[in-house]
Amino acid sequence: MQEANREEHGSEVSSEIMEPTAEVERNLEIEKLRAERDTLVDRLARMQADFENARKRASKEQQDFRDFALADAIKSLLPVLDSFERALKTSGTEASEFRSGIELIYKQLQDSLAKLGLAVISAEGQAFDPRFHEAIEMVDTKEAADHAVLEELQRGYKLKERLLRPAMVRVARNPEK
């Protein structure tokens, strides 16, 4: 009977020893998982911070590029501004001389804008194109073809291939067609 008691106690002792070991193993596993979780959360926080910094850096670079492009564009217009200032300082000139000076400044401004990529949209005498022309008025006439631009009221402009402003035009409507 003692042996049976020992075997019973032995199995109880061994199960008591096993249970704490299993619990210790579970606790170690939990701690290991917590440490791994903490590491991943830390990595995630660092990656989010890196991403935010990269986004801010890209935004600043874009703004710097815009500022540089704007400065370059304005620099090309400064001679025109200088010419206007000189023209306004002159006194006692004849109207024809003043007009010719203003025409030269106008030409200088057109050249500066053309170098930046500005182009005038041709309108008068052309067929009406709703992509580049804005019809302000339809005029009944037999003198021009149907849907031809009769008169340009305000010039239209493109910057390279991008429409900045459509030309405002009067368009012919030929009642015979």
Q: What is the pTM of this model?
A: 0.58
Mean pLDDT of 4-16: 50
On average, the pLDDT of the chain sits at 85
**Residue 18's pLDDT band (boundaries 50, 70, 90)?**
low
Are the C-beta atoms of residues 130 and 164 closer than 8 Å to each other? Answer: no
**Residue 165's pLDDT band (boundaries 50, 70, 90)?**
very high
**What pLDDT digit, counting tens, does each position of 134-149 carry?**
999 898 888 888 888 9
User: CA quadruple 155, 159, 107, 127: dihedral positive or negative?
Assistant: negative
Q: Which of 40, 108, 60 is nearest to 80 (CA)?
A: 108
Mean pLDDT of 74-89: 85
Angle between helices 95-115 and 2-89 (to 10 degrees): 160
User: CA quadruple 82, 83, 85, 86: dihedral positive or negative?
Assistant: positive
Place of tokens 């006439």: 141
Residue type, 160: K
**What pLDDT digit, counting tens, does each position of 91-105 carry?**
767 888 888 888 999
CATH class, domain 119-177, is mainly beta
| Alpha carbons 135 and 51: distance in angstroms, whole number | 49
Which residues, in sequence order, are bridge partners of residue 164?
none
Name the helix (H) or strand (E) containing 118.
Answer: strand 118-121
